[in-house]
Chain A
Amino acid sequence: MKKFLAVVAAALLACVPVMAFSSNSGVDTAAAAMPAWLCIPFAGLLLCIAVFPLVKPVWWEEHRSWAVLLWSLLFLLPFAALNGAGAAIETALDCIANDYLSFIVLLFGLFCVAGNITLEGDLAGSPRVNVALLLFGTLLSSWVGTTGASMLMVRPLLKMNAWRKRRRHIMVFFIFLISNIGGCLTPIGDPPLLMGFARGVPFFWSLRLLPVMLLNTAVLLAVFYRVDMRNYRRDIAEGRKPDIRRPGTEIKITGLHNLLFLAMIVAAVILSGVLPTLPAFQNDRGEALGIPLFGEVELPVPVLIEAAIILLAAWLSFRTTGAEVRRANHFTWGAIKEVAVLFIGIFITMQPALMLLRDNGARLGLSQPFQMFWATGALSSFLDNTPTYLVFLTTACALGFREGIATTLGTVPPQMLMAISCGAVFMGACTYIGNAPNFMVKSISDENGIRMPSFFGYLLWSAGFLGPVFLLDALIFFR
């Protein structure tokens, strides 16, 4: 029955992107150039990610790279037939060079550096300790990025709660808060905001999102405390207890020097946003300098510099930290491998959906902040939130406002920009694929004895807990 429900829900999910765009496809020529049915491979891949770990977990683990290849080809081959092989190669290369490369290198760097910092000690995971850690991580996210904060905090939280049986809710709220909502205050926090910064939104403008973040964090932490307390009591009632026979808590953090490498990575991320705006890194047309790859596709130099710094930081981190730290952290390549494989497929197959969005974004008739909030958010849950943010920012700038934040794309009223930013950053928490660290946290938890919710199970969690909070946001801030 559970499997049947999963399949039905997956079928509905598969229809979402297709329906979203097919409703507009009849009225414009752009959609004719990019038929909506080309979104089917994306939906198919999502379907596989959602269903196979439930029904054939072992098979999926061994064959997922083939599934990714199959769905990617199912998009690229028809696309090549429609637009020519060159266009297909360009599309694939463009998304790999401009989006996937910086995405995976950043994730890889943070994964390596955070994996070399270990917290040893006998601090016991309890509701108040967990709330404190989640709050700390949420506040940290804006300053080291949601991925950095997630990678840094996930292992200590796992370790402290190792004595408990019921732990999945902790990781789910971890994804909500640290991996997503916490990243809204600065352009370092989440890539969409970095794109906004690169297009003229002032660096500290995002601090205006503080009231929204505080409300969401306060509500979610209050709910988390109740949920965690209930599970904590159930664990105690079953006779589970942490080992606290020795008086006093000893906490030892090994590999602290890796924070330096973490700072290096954060600097690289900021550079990637700043460099394209400098004349030295621009060509005659004012675009970022790039190394030609194929056709019109170029590998941007700022991306290359960012990747080089991040890889150097990761290498230095490995060279300067003992293997015993990674052993204590149960550091394996499994989680990053899984994310790397799945996301290359996601990045390639979601291209038609993004192209349709780019072509039709302005025609969607969105003119109110709450509309922008829900539209950006809903699409950011399944698509990459960076291009989604850009599409809606461009749409908002094209609405002809004369007062507001001046960007290179045009002027956008503050409330509208807030709605787009919050939608893109917050609603990445709605699915495992909504934001890069979500899947990483899931994979690391899976590898360390926590039975995480399935793809659809997680959707239920987010609908149940995040849905009401976002509704509150819409009513209070984006009316």
Chain B
Amino acid sequence: MRHNQELRRELAARIYDLDAEVYRVLGSGLGRVFSGKREDRIDEMARQMCSRTENHILRSELALISNMARTVPDRAERSRLMREYNEILKQIETLPTTFGTIDILDEDLAKLNGARLSGRFQGGKHLIICIGRTYGCAGTDIGFALADKLKINYYDTEIFMEVLERLEAEQDSVQDRASFAHHQDLNKSLGNIKGRTLRDRMREFNRYHGLPTEDAVFFNQSDLLCDMAQREDFIVMGRCSDVILANNHIPHVSIFINAPFELRARRVMETDELDYKAACRLLKRLDRQHRHYYEFYTGRRWGDSVNYDLCINSASYGIEGSVELIERVINQHTRNK
């Protein structure tokens, strides 16, 4: 099985490199078949090779590479690329578990390796903890206390501020939709943002490459998180960081903290000085917004336990207890490697 997997990855790498080479030789700026990160595309192709339902997609994409290769004007270059293409085709035919014979998409997952926490940070990888939480469950306090205990950096709005700096944007013009940190933001409606003039909109259009502001911020946050993950250990609150890191094959521990609605409402009444009705309204609105934010950018269900390594009801353990629980899990499974 391992041998087959390596063969498929090797073949996928050759396909990716051929696509890149064809694109380079053509000098085109219109896009290629396999855009995006090399490792991601190779993984995707290797998976497609052994999937009965998806292998036809890879075949079509291979044909697209040959379409592009056939348009290379230089005869010698064209023939070199087509030779490589034909060799890849031949090799695909000789694969032992070739296109479309099995249904197991991820052999690692089949062996339950991919889902195991221990061994995840081998090879000097940085410890990154992603904490998702509902408002009023003390998730922010837990994350902060945990960072203090583990002596690692804690990031929440800092990421957003750094992104604003990158984008050369003013803070007032963009909402940090992924954060609970600024209480004044929570009740702020989008009204003042909607009241922008045409000139403001044009400036934003130019600043964010034609993307909606939220999307530009999200993409920059993704880049920033991946950069930071190469440099240091840290805890990051929300921002779909668990999915961003997973998509970029960066090891991390994902945690979701929640508490019963009534208890969260009571806490919000104290911290935000609201009456019960207003607290409930605020919680419902924030839950809705965060669910929408998370699901929009990840395609996953917010708070669904299968998406996290650890889900905690903070009401059961309190802040201290939750921090200890998380620390114990991390020490047992990742630090004692």
Instruction: Write the residues of chain A forming the contact surface with B, with a CB cutoff of 8 angstroms.
Output: 2, 57-58, 61, 118, 120, 122-124, 126, 128-129, 155, 158-165, 167, 233-234, 236-242, 244-245, 247-249, 324, 327-330, 332, 334, 446-451
Contact = CB atoms under 8 A, between A and B. Distances in A.
Contact of A236 (B26, B71, B297): B297
Interface stretch (B47-55, B92-100, B216-224, B315-323): B216-224
B252 to A, nearest CB: 14
A126 B211 contact: yes
B167 interface: yes
B228 interface: no
Given A244-B220, A332-B71, 15 more contacts: A61-B70, A126-B212, A128-B212, A158-B31, A233-B299, A239-B248, A241-B222, A242-B209, A247-B207, A249-B206, A327-B26, A327-B28, A446-B67, A448-B32, A449-B64
Contact of A239 (B71, B169, B244): B244
Interface residues of B, number: 55
A327 B210 contact: no
B28 A163 contact: no
Contact of B209 (A165, A239, A249): A249
Contacts of B33: 449
Contacts of A328: 27-29
B207 A234 contact: no
B138 to A, nearest CB: 29
A57 B63 contact: yes
A237 B300 contact: yes
A128 to B, nearest CB: 7
B209 A240 contact: no
9 contacts: A244-B219, A332-B71, A446-B64, A447-B67, A448-B28, A448-B31, A449-B34, A451-B60, A451-B61
Interface string B22-59: 00001111111111110010000000000000001100
Interface of B: 19, 26-37, 40, 56-57, 60-61, 63-68, 70-71, 73, 166-169, 205-212, 215-216, 218-220, 222-223, 243-244, 247-248, 296-300
Given A249-B207, A451-B60, A329 B28 contact: yes
A161 B71 contact: no
**Binding site secondary structure of chain A:** loop
Given A128-B212, A165-B35, A237-B299, A245 B30 contact: no
Contacts of A244: 208-209, 211, 216, 219-220
B209 A122 contact: yes
A370 to B, nearest CB: 39
Contact of A238 (B31, B209, B247, B296): B247
A237 B244 CA distance: 8
A247 B165 CA distance: 9
A242 B70 contact: no
Chain A CB count within 10 A is highest, among B31, B212, B243, B244, for B31
Given A126-B212, A334-B71, A239 B36 contact: yes
B68 A449 contact: yes
B30 A162 contact: yes
B64 A237 contact: no
A301 B189 CA distance: 67
A233 B218 CA distance: 12
A306 B127 CA distance: 70
Contacts of A242: 209, 211, 219
A128 B223 CA distance: 23
A241 B29 contact: no
A449 B31 contact: yes
A158 B32 CA distance: 10
Given A237-B297, A449-B32, A451-B57, A124 B244 contact: no
Contacts of B28: 327-330, 448
A233 B297 CA distance: 6
B299 A161 contact: no
Contacts of A126: 210-212, 215
A247 B167 contact: yes
A334 B26 CA distance: 14
